[in-house]
Every structure is written in structure tokens, then in C-alpha cells.
A and B are shown apart, each in its own frame.
With several copies, the nearest count.
Chain A
Amino acid sequence: MTQSYLELRQKTRERDRSLRDKVMSLEEAAKLVDNGASVALGGCTASRTPMAMLWALVRAQKQGLVVSRSIMSTEGDILYASGLSQHVITSWFSQGIVWGVSKVMRAYTESKRATFEEWSHMAMGLRYRAGAMGVPFMPMRSMMGSGVVDRAPGAKTMECPFTGEQLLLVPALNPDVALIHVQRCDAYGNAQLDGLTFMDIDIAMAANKVILTTERIVSNEQMRRHPDQTKIGFFTVDAVVEVPFGSAPHECYGLYEPFYSHMDLYAQMTAKDPDKGAADYLARFYHEPKDWADYLSRIGMAELLDAQRRGSGIYDD
């Protein structure tokens, strides 16, 4: 499961890591994701979810992805219901506590149509971090004594050679592809993140390919003016796609909050018959729209304006 060091090095060496224009469309970027690939998603719960990129992957009818994320919200349901993935790796999976337990997640996992591989939240973070650091594992001090560790494939305990204490070693996670949505980046992939960065910086370093979607593409000159604000470096990035409201109906820090009415609509649609509800939702919002703007239109202009108004309030005193 854990890649050998030489294998990881070889994959990285083969990448073109130079400063070059990587701007492309959602459809072109979707072609960079192979069926069966292991894919890490940036953001967390209903924040900075790379929703537009997932939307493009669903429309491109990708399948068999093994998808990891810190915490899964509605995008986890979408992964299962669209056929994009039957295997997710995360620490928590439901729309959000205020909407109760996800009916779609329950329907797929309880019927064994899909797997929800559970690790502790910190274990997810440290697995990405080990991957980012180029080491095969990270030592940690939680998960032990729980049922979670028994079901987490690959975690090993060790006796610390320095202190004699029992430690847990969690294996590095170097995803084939990372999908990360950011507030702004340049054409080369230098990205700034405002507010909460979640596990995104480690994910970008760990992955063997990174696709950035961004609210806005800015000049490299602008990035170079504050290089200490660059959180993801161009050398890790393989594609840059400009997608305004690319996390909708989730939030993007400082720009828009979650589209709550739409999140309620989704919960209602999937509450009674999760299979049919999710299929209806996918048809209406994923397959039928002619483009991303049409998707946003179907969510609704008033919703968008409201989410934006709430989102920009973070900076008001």
C-alpha cells in the first residue's frame, strides 16, 4: 500500500515542475484524472470543497476513484451516487450535524454497495503529512485502544526506541491526484489561501498531481509581491482552472458562505428515498446544466447573492 521511496521519487521526477502556464478548462482538467485513481480532496466539510471539479468528473463519467478527505459532506454522497467512487477514506461523513446522518451514505454503506474507510481526523492529517514529507509513516498518539484502529488498514503500533512508549505509526498517503479549490492563484499554480487551510498544504505536497480550481487567476507579479502568502507552490501544480463559485453550494472563506437553502433542498430530496433523491439531484444539477454558470443558475441567483453577502461579512467589524 505504501509506495517505496524510489517509486515515489520516480513519479515526481517525471513531472514537469517548471514555472509554466497551466490554465485549462474544467473538461480538460477532468482528463487528467484516470479511472481508479486515488484522489484527495481539499477543504473540509462544507468549506472550499472542489465541487466544480467533482461536477466535471461526474459529467466525464469517471469511475472507481478511491477518494480521501479530512471530513466528507454532501460531496461524499455525490461520489457514491454518481458512481465516481465506491470507496472513501475519511474521519467523518454526513452532510453536517444540523442535517443529521446522511441518508445516502447510510444507503450505500449499509447495503455494502460502497465502503467508508474510517480513520481518526488527526490520522488523516498525519497520513497526508507523511506523504508530503517523503517518509513512509508518521508516529502518533491517538486511535490506539479504539475500534477505529482495528479497521484502519495499515496502521501499526511500535514501541518507541527512545522512551519505550507505545506509539501508532500511520502510513503515508500520496494520492495520485489532489483536487483543491482556492481563493486565488496565478497561471503557474502559486496559490494563496485565506482563512482556514485545513489539510490542503500537506495534500498538495503529498500528491503526485494537483488540479487547482480557483475563484480568480491573478498575475505572477501579484504573487511575487507577497511570497510569504503563497501557500501552495507552483512546482506541485499540474492544472489551474478558473471557476467562480467553484465550491458552491459549500463555502469559500471570505467570499461566500454555504448556500443553506440549497443544502436544505438537498437534504429534503434525499431524506425519504436516498437513491431516487440523489439520482434526481444529479440529473437536475450535474447532468442537465449546459455549463457551470447554468449549474449556478439552477441553484439560483438569490441564493448566490445571499451566500456572497454572508461570506464577505467575515471581515466586517
Chain B
Amino acid sequence: MTTEPVRTTPALAAVPAYTASELLGVMSARLLKDGQTVFAGVGIPLLAAILAQKTHAPGLTILFEGGVIGPFVEAGKLPPSTNEQRCTRRANMLVSITEVLLMLQRGYVDVGFMGGAQIDRYGNLNSSFIGDADNPKIRLPGTGGGNDIASLADMIVAMKHEKRRFVEKVDFITSPGFIEGGDSRAKAGLPAGGMFRVVTDLGIMGFDAQTRAMTVVALHPGVTPQAIKDNTGFDLPVPSDVPVTEVPSDVELAILRELDPARLYTA
């Protein structure tokens, strides 16, 4: 499989010990709690969920949309999507795709965990169209399980922090966050779930309990409030007393690199 060249964000220039993707993986893994059930998308979510399982959350139950419940994916054998047999290694149970998605609807899942191409102030995600949907500049791959996960679970999103990705309003709502903020999500027919955290290579974002607008809840080491503002396409408040996350540990990085030696997802 092809890999992209290693990428270093400006904010991370001073911390060359890990890539932006590794930082993402570690920071989002830490948000998962032991005993939770997490529905993980392909890429960083898959990797981070496995990392959590191998560190602080050995009792984490991972679900993959291919129909996999409670697997232990092997180091060096990451799947190209969440629908291949590599995902099923030492799973507790395999079901149909429809059944595993219905587990979200039935309420058996604590956390939905996915990547994002474009996100807006209210946590809406776009993975369908760049530009106008009827005449797109880029046709993206689409929702996959994203729409269902975002509609039915408390969400963690892991993505790179870039101005073109953090926009005032997404070109298209593929996976709903809080839609237009306030109670617009519930009014749209989605009374359960919603955005919980957005993890980027710059920091960790949450959402205001009333307005449902995105706000910074932590910055990564070496990232200034200004750096996060510079890389966001809308007004993103940073509290004056915002905490700083702990740098990825050698253990966390070692596990990530053992999991993904070919750097499919962590380049």
C-alpha cells in the first residue's frame, strides 16, 4: 500500500519526536475509558482504539462497521478498511453490517469515533462534497457509517487542524453534529448522541452546553492560542486558563509504531 510522506505541522516543528498523526492517535486514545463500547472508523480511530486497549483500557470494547464486536487487531496487520478479515482477529462476535449499526440505534454504544475531512463550528462533518453538492469541486467518498455513528452516539472526531478543514459552515452536512446549534439537533429528529470532542494535532475541542458551538478545552504542548486561531476558519474561543495536554509517552509511541510499522495511518 502506498504511504504519504511524513508531514510536520508548523506548530509541531519544535517537537519532531512524533508525527501529527501519531499525536492525534495518542491524544484521542486517551479519551477512551476502560469498559466503554466504542464504534471506531478506519484510520486514526481504529489505531487509537487499539492503542487505548493496549494501554489504559484493556476492557474497551471496539466495534467496527464491518460487523465486528470486541476484536484484538494484531500489530503489523492493520486492515485497509473496517470491513476486512484483519478486523475480526480474536473478536468476541461477528454480525452483519446492519446489525452492528443497529447496535448504535439501540443504544449499546458509548462513543462513536471517526476521522473528518471538514468540520464546522457546530461539529457538523463533511465527507461528501467540496464545493456545491450539485457541481462539486471534489466528490469525496461519502458517509460510510459516519452519518449513522454521528446521529446515534456521543462522538469523538480526530482530524488534522487546518483552516480549510475547520470552516464556518461545512459545504455539506454528511454527518450531523449540532447542526445549527442550540436544540436544532434534537428538533431534526436526533434526540440522542452528539459531538463530545474533536481531537486535532493542535488541541482538544469541546462544545458549549447551550449554544453547542465549538470551544477549545486543551492545547497540545508547544501550541499557542494564536496558533489554533490561525488554523481555524471561524471564531474558536480559547479560555485563558486552558490546560495543556501531556506529551505522548515513549510507551504510547512505541505501541503505535508497532501497530503500524508501515505507517499506513501514522505517517
Contact, chains A and B (beta carbon distance below 8 A): yes
Q: Is the CB of A18 within 8 A of B108?
A: no
Report the nearest A residue to B72, measured CB to CB.
A224
A→B interface (CB under 8 Å): 5-6, 8-9, 12-13, 16-20, 44-47, 70-71, 73, 90-94, 96-99, 101-102, 105-106, 109-110, 116, 118, 120-123, 125-126, 128-129, 132-135, 140-148, 151, 157, 165-168, 188, 190, 195-202, 205, 220, 223-224, 227-228, 230, 233-236, 251, 253-254, 257-258, 260, 263-264, 267-268, 311, 314
Q: Is the CB of A12 within 8 A of B80?
A: no
Q: Is the CB of A141 within 8 A of B176?
A: no
B→A interface (CB under 8 Å): 1-2, 34-37, 42-43, 59, 61, 65-71, 80-81, 83-86, 88-98, 101-108, 110, 128, 133, 136-148, 151-152, 172-176, 179, 184-185, 188-192, 264-265
Q: Is the CB of A19 within 8 A of B61?
A: yes
The distance from the CB of B55 to the nearest CB of chain A, in whole angstroms, is 17
Q: Is the CB of B70 within 8 A of A142?
A: no
Which 10 residue pairs across A and B have the least CB separation, nearest first? A145-B188, A125-B98, A92-B144, A142-B151, A144-B189, A166-B189, A230-B93, A18-B35, A134-B106, A12-B107
Q: Is the CB of B107 within 8 A of A13?
A: yes
CA distance A16 to B66 in the complex (A): 24
CA distance A260 to B103 in the complex (A): 32
B85: chain A residues at CB < 8 Å are 47, 195-196, 251, 253-254, 257, 311, 314
B86: chain A residues at CB < 8 Å are 257
B42: chain A residues at CB < 8 Å are 97
CA distance A121 to B127 in the complex (A): 14
Q: List 15 A-B contacts (CB under 8 A).
A: A5-B192, A6-B192, A44-B83, A45-B84, A92-B141, A92-B142, A98-B265, A102-B141, A116-B139, A118-B142, A120-B147, A147-B128, A148-B173, A196-B67, A224-B92
The distance from the CB of A18 to the nearest CB of chain B, in whole angstroms, is 4
Other-chain residue from A9, A70, A94, A227 in contact with B88 (beta carbon distance below 8 A): A227
Q: Do A121 and B61 form a contact, CB below 8 Å, given A196-B67, A199-B98?
A: no
Other-chain residue from A8, A147, A200 in contact with B133 (beta carbon distance below 8 A): A147
Other-chain residue from B80, B97, B140 in contact with A121 (beta carbon distance below 8 A): B97
A198: chain B residues at CB < 8 Å are 66-67, 83, 96-97
A230: chain B residues at CB < 8 Å are 69, 92-94
Q: Is the CB of B80 within 8 A of A223?
A: no
B191: chain A residues at CB < 8 Å are 5-6, 165
A120: chain B residues at CB < 8 Å are 143, 145, 147-148, 151
Q: Is the CB of B105 within 8 A of A201?
A: no
CA distance A13 to B104 in the complex (A): 12
Interface centre among A99, A121, A220 (most CB of B within 10 A): A121
